[in-house]
Amino acid sequence: MGAYAGRKSPGSCNIRRRALCEPRGKESVVTKAFSAWRVGAPYYVPALLLALIFLAIALRGHRWAYVGVAVCLVYGGFSLFFFRDPVRAITAAANEVVSPADGTVVAVEELQTTPHYDGPCRRISIFLSILSVHVNRAPFEGTVASVVHKPGEFRNAMRAETTDCNESNAVRLDTPQGPMTVRQISGAIARRIVCLARTGDRLEKGQKFGMIKFGSRTELYLPAGAEATVRVGDKVHGGSSVVARFP
């Protein structure tokens, strides 16, 4: 089941009942309608409204209010920048896997065992800085088999050890090429994971399903037969960059 996961949500994912995440019949509306702009509205809308109030006060001769205008505009402007949600063209071939996030590739590994995948797999880890687009996307078309939230710490997501100790949310997909898992991992600043995917949802390649607020890490677990097309240090863009392909 999908969730807004955060510091106060131990155990399995909790759900905030909002219009955005109300199911309609058997089709998931949340995954179709996800928007980072909407998620960020509680941050930038009040700031911009408060800027207008300070401006009205300043125009009445209270010059000190211009400081409030400036502070609110800076905060609101940063929030708008952080929650930006650019349109991405999904042009990958049928056998190609797209990046689940924007950022820098920090690891490409072959694993024999891991708690996050059944059997040998290939893991691609992506670090998202505070300046990255933080929307998460499906790497391949498939059906959501499970969504598992794990409480944890909030260490610097650039470090490899955070994969085991930080708060995370794992979305497992059943795809024509085998199971794939996208793990959203919180960072030192990012302490809120947003995941609107639910078990049973059908996701298309590159489709948005959530985000991690502020700096964070995203891991992609693929079948061992997938060939990675990226290296450590590569910059990737969610939905448009190809990170692996199948024969």
Catalytic residue ranges: 216
- 62 and 98 co-located in one domain: no
Domain count for the chain: 2
Q: Which domain holds residue 67?
A: 36-82
Q: Six-digit token pair at 178?
A: 């085998």
My answer on whether 74 and 107 are in the same domain is no
Residue bearing the bigger pLDDT, 221 or 88: 221
Whether the predicted pLDDT of 108 surpasses 90:
yes
pLDDT in tens, 37-78: 677 677 788 889 999 999 999 999 899 999 999 999 998 888
- Which tens digits make up the pLDDT trace of 174-215? 999 999 999 999 876 656 788 889 999 999 999 999 988 776
Residue 8's pLDDT is 41
Q: The whole model's pTM is what?
A: 0.77
> At which of 27, 56, 82 does a domain end?
82
The phi and psi torsions of 81 (rounded to 5 degrees) equal: -65, -45
In the numeric block, which tokens belong to residue 104?
């820098």
Condensed to tens digits (0 to 9), the pLDDT of residues 33-43 reads 666 667 767 77
Res. 159 pLDDT band, cuts 50 70 90: low
Q: Are residues 60 and 143 in the same domain?
A: no
Q: What is the rounded CA–CA span in Å between residue 59 and residue 55?
A: 6
Q: Assess whether pLDDT exceeds 70 at residue 217.
A: yes
Shared domain check, 189 and 68: no
More confident residue, 92 or 80: 92
The residue among 65, 31, 38 whose CA lies nearest residue 50 is 65
- Does one domain contain both 105 and 210? yes
Adjacency order of strands within the sheet including 103-111: 202-203, 142-150, 168-175, 178-186, 216-223, 121-128, 103-111, 235-236
